[in-house]
Chains A and B, each alone.
Chain A
Amino acid sequence: MRNLIKNVKGFLIKIGNIIKTFFWNVRRIINNFKRKISNFLDKHKINPAGKFPGWAKALLYLSPALIVLAVFTFWPIINSFALVVYENYNMTNNTITGYTIFGNFLRVLTDESFIVPASHTASSAVINTLIIVFISVPISIFIALGVSVALNSIKPLKGFFQTIYFLPYVTNTIAIGLVFAYMFRTDGGLVNQFIGLFGVDTAGLSWVESNAVYWRSMFVLIFYSIWSALAFKIMVFLTSIQGIDKQYYQAAAIDATPKGRIFSKITVPLISPMIFYITVTSVIGAFKIYNAIVALFGVQGAPPGVNYNLQSIVMYIYQFIDGSKEGQLSVAAAGSLILFAIILVLTIVQMQVSKKRVHY
């Protein structure tokens, strides 16, 4: 028995040695081959590392990203200009009936419920979007400025408050939107309960359900978009306020400058580039509002049983992809190019202004 074990052990060691020598041999052969190549290269004075062009190496590193980007980012940009000139593009069998230059744009611009409110409704996509942009952006910027100045002036609990204000940024828009819709219910909703505390009769006071007046459901939408947009603005304003040189404040403190004056003459001018940047980005963000509307009012974009619609420009575009007017992708492309044009103008304005207005 002991002999057998010894034999087996010896056998295993032998096999192990064979494998080891095999790999050593392979390594030696490869190294020899390498040496031969380098000898050859040296002989003919070729230096591969020097001759290997930079772009080939770059292409190797860039190719995974560029392939995906080419298919899903660059091609769509080219293709949407192609789609716009198709007439009656049919997605299922990939056919068109002809070409038009402005036909699809005209269809969008003259469409009921894009700019001009449809006869049976009181609102259109552009009007809704503009209302959201012009109300929610200024209010949220004012609140965010106030909060970040207040946060900057305290020491205890600062991190705690900062964390809480950041919470809306990391939440799911749809999930919290459903919670908001639930909070604004007519019977037994939290908001109606709260208003009821002040003696207002809340029976039948509807916000997001049937019989909701346009301005009430718009209020909920704007409230929700401000609530969810605050986090990012507070964050950015706070970092830029903390970056202001303390000397300005010390000088102001020696002169016993009132707080309001410090705010308007030191803080705001010094962070004005950031305020401007945030204004433009949040205007762009508000133009693209979509998830909040879907979360609050469903895919139709309106409370049930009302004669208006709360759809935004993006929602108008998506109804051609999956929605009431499914399949008319050319019109959708025209709509998205119009949205792109708006955003492009805003971005150019931002770039020009931020070049000129540098405060420090």
Chain B
Amino acid sequence: MDKQLFIKSKKIESITFIFDILAIIAYIALFLMLFNLLQLPDLDPISGSMDLDNLEFLTPTYELLGSNLDKWQMNSIISILVIFLVVTFPMLFINIKKNKTRTIYEVDSYAVGSKFVQALINLLTFNFVGAGLRIYNTFILIKFVKGYSPKEFFQSIIPAIKKWFADRKVKKEKINEDTIDEYSASLKRSIRRQNTIGALRMLGTYLFLVLMALIIIIPFYWMVLTSLKTFTESVAINPKFFLSISRWNWVNYKVVLTELNFGLYIKNTVTVAIFSTLGTILTTIFAAYAFARIEFKGRELLFSILIMTMMIPGELYIITNFITVSKNGLGWIGMPTGENKYFLAMIIPFVTSISYIFFLRQNFKQIPESLYKAARVDGCSDFKYLMRVMVPIASPTIFTITILNVFSSWNAYIWPRIITGVGDPDAKNYWLISNALRDSTFVQDSGRVMYNLQIAASALVTVPLLIVFFMFRKYIMNGIGRSGTKG
């Protein structure tokens, strides 16, 4: 094996990433530009709201680079950009991971093939530089794996195909049944029978798994599909199961973000998520460290009290916490308009979590005690030891806790609802995304329920979660599996 070739291929791959990233930035910029151009219905001068009933009957034309585009062409362009993003972003993400971890022994013909397919995808997504570099890289890898130069490789294709066919022909030559004796014939029959049963069982297993997977997937598919439909299509008696890309109404998302204020709700939720997660991480690390390493009287007692409170239902807390944050307590809500501190009321109760303390303590306990003693002998203070040794070792767990906490803030429903439901007209501006989803009115003055907009809002809530999940799948699934089995 030629190590130089492998290193060269790795280097070229990292140069390709730059062009991949540039392409993705270009898609995102173009998408945002076109999305901004999308035309919404005019504001009604009297009520100040949009007439969403004729959203689907708008036929605006857009000027782009000197040519006039109608609504459907615009939709198609945006759809194609989104498809490009959906294809290229995961590809980049997986490739960067692979390029980091791939060793010289893992490069085989399969890797070469996948590189070539990636080059084709690059070509289809108009990333020509990336495609060229990847094809060049393919030839380097062919040289590395098979030892062929490009010319030799092209010459070897036809003989290889011929050989493959020849091999198949040899396999198909039958053994004459008459010449084998009784015993081997029966053996052969029983092997064949077992193989059939095994294959049938495999088929059944896969059918079952695919069926279950369909039940899981269909709501997601239906959500994305409906969010792009027009109102008439979304309430049709015979709903469409597929839409051509020119019929993907991206304007639905724009209406949801602007007219229905979901941009603001997303901003609120992100604020709450960031601050409560920061708080949770800090308090959890310190508390878990105290429970794992510092010896003091009553440590086990205090810890078991904390563990016991974990089984108390959350409803019990919410009743008193509602009193605590309201006028007679801390005075964060229930005050006259303008004096309410909704963010404090939504963040502070959630800046620590007993289950995460428990989870992190288990992790800290696995770090050998001798490390701690050695550090102490060398004059390392507790705080320094925690920051320099414990936190880096436990960083995967801390990352898992971060993600899970962000998820739970994103999905919080009942507490924000109770907080913002106290009759303050200003409270609507502090809704979080889940209670906005449930409590916003998607009903028009004409009595129509705008299902397509409602489902578009749902998709807007769900898609970020799915993106984060697919990016950090390993951390999330490990974290939940472990905390589940140990709790």
Query: Which A residues contact B (CB, under 8 angstroms)?
Result: 53-55, 57-58, 61-62, 64-66, 68-69, 71-77, 79-80, 83, 91-92, 94, 143, 146-147, 150-151, 153-154, 157, 161-176, 178-180, 182-183, 185, 187-188, 190, 193, 227, 230, 232, 235-236, 239-240, 259, 274, 284, 288, 290-291, 294-295, 298-299, 314, 317-318, 321-322, 329, 332-333, 335-337, 339-340, 343-344, 347
A209 and B284 CA atoms in complex are apart in Å by 45
Q: Which residues of A contact B473 (CB under 8 A)?
A: 163, 166
Interface positions, chain B 300-321, Cβ under 8 Å from A, are 302, 306, 309, 311-321
State which of B57-65, B80-88, B90-98, B198-206 sits at the interface with chain A. B198-206
Chain B, residue nearest A93 (CB):
B328
Q: Verify A172–B220 contact, CB threshold 8 A.
A: no
B336 within 8 A of A: no
Q: Verify A165–B212 contact, CB threshold 8 A.
A: yes
Distance in angstroms from B255 CB to nearest chain A CB is: 17
A97 and B42 CA atoms in complex are apart in Å by 56
Q: Verify B237–A58 contact, CB threshold 8 A.
A: no
Which one of B223, B318, B323 lies within 8 Å of A179 (CB-CB)?
Answer: B223
A241 and B362 CA atoms in complex are apart in Å by 23
Chain B, residue nearest A156 (CB):
B206
Which one of A175, A290, A322, A344 lies within 8 Å of B458 (CB-CB)?
Answer: A175
The total of chain B residues at the interface (CB under 8 A) is 97
Q: Verify B309–A73 contact, CB threshold 8 A.
A: yes
B209 within 8 A of A: yes
| A-B interface pairs (CB < 8 A), number | 260
A169 and B326 CA atoms in complex are apart in Å by 33
Interface positions, chain B 382-429, Cβ under 8 Å from A, are 382, 407, 410-411, 413-414, 417-418, 421-422
Question: Chain A interface mostly helix, strand, loop or mixed?
Answer: helix
Q: Which residues of A contact B313 (CB under 8 A)?
A: 288, 314, 336, 339-340, 343
- Tell me which of B219, B289, B327, B435 has the highest count of chain A C-beta atoms within 10 A of its own C-beta: B219
Q: Verify B438–A174 contact, CB threshold 8 A.
A: yes
Q: Verify B319–A321 contact, CB threshold 8 A.
A: yes
Q: Which residues of A contact B208 (CB under 8 A)?
A: 146-147, 150
Q: Verify A62–B286 contact, CB threshold 8 A.
A: yes
Mask: chain B, 273-309; 1 = CB below 8 Å from A; 0 = not: 0000000001110110111001111110010001001
Distance in angstroms from A10 CB to nearest chain B CB is: 41
Which one of A167, A232, A288, A329 lies within 8 Å of B216 (CB-CB)?
Answer: A167
Q: Which residues of B contact A73 (CB under 8 A)?
A: 309, 317, 354
Q: Verify A318–B206 contact, CB threshold 8 A.
A: no
8 further A-B pairs in the complex, CB-CB below 8 A; given A80-B316, A166-B473 = A53-B296, A65-B283, A175-B457, A178-B455, A179-B222, A179-B226, A321-B322, A322-B418
Q: A64-B352, A167-B466, A321-B319 are in contact. Are A182 and B413 (CB under 8 A)?
A: no
Q: Verify B311–A54 contact, CB threshold 8 A.
A: no
Q: Verify A179–B455 contact, CB threshold 8 A.
A: yes
Q: Verify A66–B212 contact, CB threshold 8 A.
A: no
B451 within 8 A of A: yes
Interface positions, chain B 216-266, Cβ under 8 Å from A, are 216-220, 222-223, 226, 235-239
Q: Which residues of A contact B465 (CB under 8 A)?
A: 170-172
Distance in angstroms from B468 CB to nearest chain A CB is: 8
B75 within 8 A of A: no
Q: Verify B209–A150 contact, CB threshold 8 A.
A: yes
B349 within 8 A of A: yes
Q: A167-B216, A318-B315 are in contact. Are A190 and B296 (CB under 8 A)?
A: no
B437 within 8 A of A: yes
Q: Verify B315–A76 contact, CB threshold 8 A.
A: no
Q: Which residues of A contact B296 (CB under 8 A)?
A: 53-55, 57-58
Distance in angstroms from A304 CB to nearest chain B CB is: 11
A317 and B202 CA atoms in complex are apart in Å by 49
Q: Verify B434–A174 contact, CB threshold 8 A.
A: yes
Which one of B311, B411, B438, B470 lies within 8 Å of A344 (CB-CB)?
Answer: B311
Q: Verify B213–A165 contact, CB threshold 8 A.
A: yes
Distance in angstroms from B261 CB to nearest chain A CB is: 16
B270 within 8 A of A: no
Q: Which residues of A contact B480 (CB under 8 A)?
A: 169, 232, 235
Distance in angstroms from B45 CB to nearest chain A CB is: 32
Which one of B283, B413, B451 lies within 8 Å of A174 (CB-CB)?
Answer: B413
Q: A72-B321, A165-B213, A336-B319 are in contact. Are A66 and B328 (CB under 8 A)?
A: no
Q: Verify A64–B287 contact, CB threshold 8 A.
A: yes
Q: Verify A150–B205 contact, CB threshold 8 A.
A: yes
Which one of A83, A166, A284 lies within 8 Å of B477 (CB-CB)?
Answer: A166
Q: Verify A65–B284 contact, CB threshold 8 A.
A: yes
Which one of B202, B413, B481 lies within 8 Å of A173 (CB-CB)?
Answer: B413
Q: Which residues of B contact A80 (CB under 8 A)?
A: 316, 319-320
Which one of B315, B455, B468 lies within 8 Å of A182 (CB-CB)?
Answer: B455
B175 within 8 A of A: no
Chain A, residue nearest B470 (CB):
A163
Q: Verify A171–B286 contact, CB threshold 8 A.
A: no
- Tell me which of A61, A143, A178 has the highest count of chain B C-beta atoms within 10 A of its own C-beta: A61
Chain A, residue nearest B226 (CB):
A182
Q: Which residues of A contact B354 (CB under 8 A)?
A: 69, 73
Q: Verify B316–A165 contact, CB threshold 8 A.
A: no
Q: Which residues of B contact A321 (CB under 8 A)?
A: 318-319, 322, 418
A167 and B173 CA atoms in complex are apart in Å by 48
Q: Verify A65–B205 contact, CB threshold 8 A.
A: no
Q: Could you list 29 examples of A-B contacts with CB < 8 Å?
A: A54-B296, A62-B290, A62-B302, A64-B287, A65-B284, A65-B286, A71-B324, A75-B320, A76-B324, A91-B326, A91-B328, A147-B208, A147-B209, A164-B217, A165-B213, A171-B462, A172-B462, A174-B438, A178-B455, A179-B455, A180-B219, A188-B236, A232-B484, A236-B485, A294-B413, A317-B319, A321-B318, A329-B322, A344-B311
- Tell me which of A53, A65, A68, A179 has the highest count of chain B C-beta atoms within 10 A of its own C-beta: A65
Q: A188-B238, A227-B216 are in contact. Are A151 and B209 (CB under 8 A)?
A: yes
Which one of B284, B294, B309, B417 lies within 8 Å of A58 (CB-CB)?
Answer: B294
Mask: chain B, 337-358; 1 = CB below 8 Å from A; 0 = not: 0000000000011011010010
Q: Verify B317–A92 contact, CB threshold 8 A.
A: no
A162 and B216 CA atoms in complex are apart in Å by 11
B215 within 8 A of A: yes
Q: Verify A176–B287 contact, CB threshold 8 A.
A: no
Which one of B202, B411, B434 lies within 8 Å of A154 (CB-CB)?
Answer: B202
A351 and B312 CA atoms in complex are apart in Å by 16
Q: Which residues of A contact B297 (CB under 8 A)?
A: 54-55
Q: Verify B219–A183 contact, CB threshold 8 A.
A: yes
Q: A165-B213, A178-B437 are in contact. Are A336 and B316 (CB under 8 A)?
A: yes
A68 and B306 CA atoms in complex are apart in Å by 13
Q: Which residues of B contact A58 (CB under 8 A)?
A: 290, 294, 296, 299
A161 and B210 CA atoms in complex are apart in Å by 8
